Amino acid sequence: MKGHRLLIILVCLALTGCGLHPMPTAAPTRIPTAAAVATVTAAPTAAPSATATATATPAATAALERPATEPMTLIDVDRLLGDIEGMSSIRPHAGWRNSATPGEAEGLDYVARRLSALPYLQGLGLGLERQEFAVYLATELRTARLRLTVDGQEMDLPVDAQRGPRDDLAAALRFDSDGQANDTRPDPVTAAGAPLIVHSAQEVDRLTPTEVRGKVVFLDEAAVDRIVRSNAAVATAQELLQKGPAGVVLVTQYSNQPGQAHGTFAGDLSAFCYVQGVPHLPILDLRLEDAPSGWDGLARAQAAQLTWDADVYSPGRSGNLIARIPGADPSKAIILGAHIDSPANPGAMDDASGCAVLLEVARVLDAAHAQPPVDLYLAWFGSEELGLYGSDYFAATHQELLDRTLAMLQVDCLSRPLEGVPATLSLVGWSYGRLGDAGLPWPDYLARQVQPLGIEATPSNLYGLESDNSALSGFDVPNANAIYMDEPAMDPIGGVHYAGHLHDPYDTIELAREQAPVLQQMAQLALTAALATGREQPALRTAGTPDRRAVLVASHTEAVHMTPAALTDLGMLLAWEGYDVDMVPYGQPLTPADLQGASLVVALPVCDYAAPGDPGQGEGWQPQEVDALAAYVAAGGLLVVTGSAHRLKYMNQVWDENEDWAAMNALSSRLGVTFQSGALPGAEAAVEGQSPLTAGVSSLELAPNNAVPFAAPGAQVLARVSGLPVVALLQPPGARGQVLVLADLGILGAASEPQHLPFWRNLARHAG
């Protein structure tokens, strides 16, 4: 996901529109590395012991020695391409490295094996950490097969199954072969019939149900391409399925010409994801180039048989792999990142290219016998394509590391621009411009550093989610994403995915090879980030040195998009106001020590990922946690208690109901607040009365219909919707501190331009 291209996809998802359970997908196992490699296998939740092992500041190592060979001269583009080919060949036509599936896990295994063959880094104390975590929804594409009968002879053609929506479980189940979530048994579906070739939307319009019913339709993907035809693509897909085919084969065709379809989003978020009230049937993707004699060969077929086996899991399981290369100065760190998963295609450029770059940095350091100046962390994140799950989980469980990190660079990703479309090596960051400083110190520094190498890198400011680097913005970690694109040139013709051959079936090693010079520059950039930044340790944090703490407690908030990793504008505002933003991650019980020195504490909503029909696992606050927070308020602290009637995702998207909403009462009732059933209607609350918290604020934006009603006798109501309170301030009897009640977590989020900056600023100053 790249920049506001991600925002566009999420808006499309919104228009279509909790607990951990054992999953049949292969859980990441202990890494089979050489004995010299220190390995940590992190638990699915961030238990205190696992977190301490993974993130404790290491002891100082020997002084940095000059490497025997200049590392930059050792970058080998053939090795880079070899790793891309290796990763883009995982589980071909069986999901590839699809997010939160065995293919993704095999990608991490591939990386771990490569790291285990680096003896110098092992001697330095190379350590690996394998993390496992939940995602809301995952689709495992087990089997996709197309068998044609041509002149009495049978032939099998390579095809791919489609992945359904990322957050709409009911719609995603249409892409499960038996329509049942969390079914671990193989359940292949076979559909057979006479082939029917359809080349255009106009042909779909002309066909009658009698002509379509029982046929296997071979449909030119251009007729339902969401980029080329926009909303009309969904209407055509809907019309075709309503006419009753036995199955559909979506046929893509390579093109590098602007304006022509080439299968963008064909396997992930295709037009068929957004249809409603249609039959449950196999929909497979075929590249025309894989069909003998193209369309003419398909037209000669007398019969077609589709076999399809896919399973949807909610929740699903995903993983990260984190490598630490000890630096001469372990008090500081640099993080390089890439995402291992692909959107149900080979994913050679998106993002095997970034994964290969990280491996090449490690290999070069090993070959040069070069110890990095500071600790170097290489992070291969899972489930980026589902919504930055891996990097969000990483940020939540590596708080100590983030505090000592100089900067983070994501490499996501290489692209192959369409003919006549320009591109540059862009460094995309999220500046503090909304708060008064639009500078980009980290991208600017990197661009200057690589100029002597003949690399023209272009810093770019984006107020929005870019890639896994965005998960660190709310914690004031300087970050950027390295991507080959030209946003002003690409956006008007469909964005970087369309204009750069990302999220299409042609994202293969062949296109990556065409971009070998750019790939080499990306590796040079990443190596520069790892070595030069550590040596010079430039001042890159715009917000300055914090002098107070804000603690956001997510001990019972499994939904990572309801934590500081996604509440980016709020985190940046707090950093700007002098706060060190810390987080207690899901699964780690809150203790009094976590609250030490905190000026502001936010209790995030209880919200886990519950399986369909499961009332949950009893997720909720424990008595000792309630005691700790009550004592914090009694001693004079400001505690914010939040509610949420639904699971929220980026930009305050409202998804499934939060069955855990009432669990907040275990905490809030101790402080004089009781949340009640239901959800208040409306998307905007009117401010009332006088309070320093609402100075200069007339209204507050809400996530639509998400506020949980509450009763707080004696509280000062600060805002209402439909006549009922959504924001209130109270001082519990005998306490020196205060409790701020927010009926909707969305008040701490933002749908687009954050309207809440004045309110958040008031809150920060009131607490401080």
CA dihedral 321, 384, 344, 42 (to 10 degrees): 30
108/565: higher pLDDT? 108
Domain ranges of the chain: 36-136+316-536, 138-313, 548-767
Classify 745 as helix, strand or coil.
helix
pLDDT for 11 equals: 33
Helix (H) or strand (E) holding 49: helix 48-55
pLDDT for 40 equals: 43
On the question of pLDDT at 504 being above 90, the answer is yes
**Interior angle at CA 443, CA 439 and CA 449, nearest 5:** 125
Q: What's the CA gap between 609 and 54, in Å, rounded?
A: 25
On the question of pLDDT at 9 being above 50, the answer is no
Other CB atoms within a 10 A radius of the CB of residue 315 amount to 24
- What is the mean predicted confidence (pLDDT) over 604-615? 88
Q: What's the CA gap between 509 and 84, in Å, rounded?
A: 7
- Given a contact cutoff of 8 angstroms between Cβ atoms, the answer to whether 714 and 673 are in contact is no
- What is the mean predicted confidence (pLDDT) over 25-37? 32
What confidence category does residue 299 fall into, taking pLDDT thresholds of 50, 70 and 90?
very high
pLDDT for 20 equals: 29
Residue 393, C-beta contacts closer than 8 angstroms, at least 6 positions apart: 131, 133, 320, 560, 585
On the question of pLDDT at 23 being above 60, the answer is no
pLDDT for 110 equals: 99
CATH code, residues 138-313: 3.50.30.30
- Given a contact cutoff of 8 angstroms between Cβ atoms, the answer to whether 169 and 180 are in contact is no
Q: What's the CA gap between 580 and 570, in Å, rounded?
A: 12
Q: What's the CA gap between 83 and 618, in Å, rounded?
A: 44
- What is the mean predicted confidence (pLDDT) over 554-561? 97
On the question of pLDDT at 10 being above 70, the answer is no
Strands 724-730 and 716-721: antiparallel
Q: What's the CA gap between 319 and 528, in Å, rounded?
A: 27
Fill in the amino acid letter for 415: S
Other CB atoms within a 10 A radius of the CB of residue 285 amount to 26
Other CB atoms within a 10 A radius of the CB of residue 111 amount to 26
What confidence category does residue 638 fall into, taking pLDDT thresholds of 50, 70 and 90?
very high
pLDDT tens digits, one per residue of 475-495: 999 999 999 999 999 999 999
**Interior angle at CA 50, CA 46 and CA 53, nearest 5:** 135
On the question of pLDDT at 43 being above 60, the answer is no
Domain 36-136+316-536 has CATH 3.50.50.60: no
On the question of pLDDT at 716 being above 60, the answer is yes
Q: Which two tokens stand for residue 347?
A: 């994913």
pLDDT tens digits, one per residue of 334-365: 999 999 999 999 999 999 999 999 999 999 99
CA dihedral 747, 750, 755, 761 (to 10 degrees): 60
Q: Which two tokens stand for residue 443?
A: 């991208």
Q: What's the CA gap between 250 and 283, in Å, rounded?
A: 7
Classify 77 as helix, strand or coil.
helix
Q: What's the CA gap between 112 and 40, in Å, rounded?
A: 12
Ramachandran angles phi, psi of 751, nearest 5°: -85, -35
Buried b / exposed e along 219-249 (16+ C-beta atoms within 10 A): bbbbbbbbbbbeeebbbbbbbbbebebbbbb
- Given a contact cutoff of 8 angstroms between Cβ atoms, the answer to whether 472 and 398 are in contact is no
Closest to 675 measured CA to CA, from 614, 621, 733 = 621
pLDDT tens digits, one per residue of 61-117: 445 566 667 999 999 999 999 999 999 999 999 999 999 999 999 999 999 999 999
The mean-pLDDT minimum among 14-28, 238-252, 410-424, 577-591 falls in 14-28
- What is the mean predicted confidence (pLDDT) over 144-172? 97
- Given a contact cutoff of 8 angstroms between Cβ atoms, the answer to whether 304 and 216 are in contact is yes
Ramachandran angles phi, psi of 459, nearest 5°: -65, 145
- What is the mean predicted confidence (pLDDT) over 668-678? 98
Closest to 44 measured CA to CA, from 605, 617, 562 = 617
Closest to 558 measured CA to CA, from 496, 501, 620 = 620
CATH class of the region 548-767 = alpha beta
On the question of pLDDT at 48 being above 80, the answer is no
Ramachandran angles phi, psi of 549, nearest 5°: -125, 140
pLDDT for 544 equals: 87
- Given a contact cutoff of 8 angstroms between Cβ atoms, the answer to whether 751 and 652 are in contact is yes
Q: What's the CA gap between 675 and 709, in Å, rounded?
A: 6
pTM for the full model?
Answer: 0.92
